[in-house]
Amino acid sequence: MSQQLGIIVMVDVEAALKANTLKGNTYLFDNMKLQGSEGLGTDKLISAIHGSSYIDGSQANEQVLNWLPYGVGSLPPTLPKSFLADKSKNSDLKALEDIKALADKITSTDTDEFTNVDDVIEELKRISKSTGIKTQVQDKYSDTTRDLGTSGQKIMDVTGELISASKDKIPEINSLNPLITDISGEAVDKKIIYPAAYGSPDMVTDGWYWAASVDTSTPGTYAYTMDIQLYKLIWSDGVWTWIPVHMKCEAYIKISNDQKKNGFTNAGVGYLPIPIA
């Protein structure tokens, strides 16, 4: 079993949505630079994959590719995936506490701070502002929308703070992480790679990731296409809604295949070179 090969697909979500293309707005990286990968950090990555075979031509080890998509302006992937959901839920709980505290103050205060209706309204406005903005997400195949996450996640800025804004103005937001929804193209059609989405208990990749095993017996350069789903935040029917936007991104694998040899003899197997005692 050999080293797992990782391909990072980093998308500048905001720029890609603006230009309506991933071209020039995607940065691809892999961990095979020493093996001869080209175009790292660009949108034209050629990943070098070193296959190996035994003298009879049979494949000697399996190469496995893993794809991970990230957003340039998304929350850092090292944060637990529940970070946004927790923060959204906590803001609701905090608001309930604040309202309870306000009620206590109104009933028990000796001063006249909260006896005036205007003051109470001001305080309620402050509390409602701190709860942030709830969002919905639109279904991929229809116009129906649903809560994002279990309780409707909110909009967060790039520093991890919930934001409040009117429908006219949304400041710097943390965009949702891009998703890979399919991998297809020449390398799949020619049965060079066998990609699939796998479930994983990994807290980082939201439980799903794309991986493929590679048939390295046919050296050459092959193209493949990733279907990538981004989310655009728009104001629709009185709610902020994440609308899925689909784009495609092409990349390449360059497969070589060399024969295995014995490390001691550089040829076939022999006696171990042990000095006589």
- Name residue, tokens 């001869």: 36
For another protein, the closer of residues 51 and 178 by Cβ is 51
**Residue pair 223/185 in contact by the 8 Å Cβ criterion:** yes
Q: Binding to another protein by residue 6, rule CB under 8 A?
A: yes
Query: C-beta of 191: minimal distance to another protein in Å?
Result: 23
Q: Which residue among 8, 15, 21, 52 contacts another protein (CB under 8 A)?
A: 52
Q: Binding to another protein by residue 267, rule CB under 8 A?
A: no
- Dist CA 197 CA 180 (whole Å): 9
For another protein, the closer of residues 184 and 259 by Cβ is 259
Q: Binding to another protein by residue 93, rule CB under 8 A?
A: no
Tokens of 172: 């710097």
For another protein, the closer of residues 54 and 235 by Cβ is 54
Tokens of 202: 């990994």
Q: Of the listed pieces 113-121, 191-199, 234-242, 266-274, which binds another protein according to CB under 8 A?
A: 266-274
- Dist CA 248 CA 226 (whole Å): 6
Q: Indicate the burial class of 242 (C-beta count within 10 angstroms; 0-12, 13-18, 19 or more).
A: buried
For another protein, the closer of residues 208 and 264 by Cβ is 264
* 60 backbone dihedrals φ, ψ, rounded to 5°: -95, -30
Q: Binding to another protein by residue 164, rule CB under 8 A?
A: no
Q: Which of residues 222-261 bind another protein (CB under 8 A)?
A: 258-261
Q: Binding to another protein by residue 146, rule CB under 8 A?
A: no
CA angle 49/54/57 to nearest 5° reads: 85
Q: Binding to another protein by residue 36, rule CB under 8 A?
A: yes
**Residue pair 26/250 in contact by the 8 Å Cβ criterion:** no
Which residues of the chain form contacts with another protein (CB under 8 A)? 1-4, 6, 31, 34-36, 50, 52, 61, 258-265, 269-277
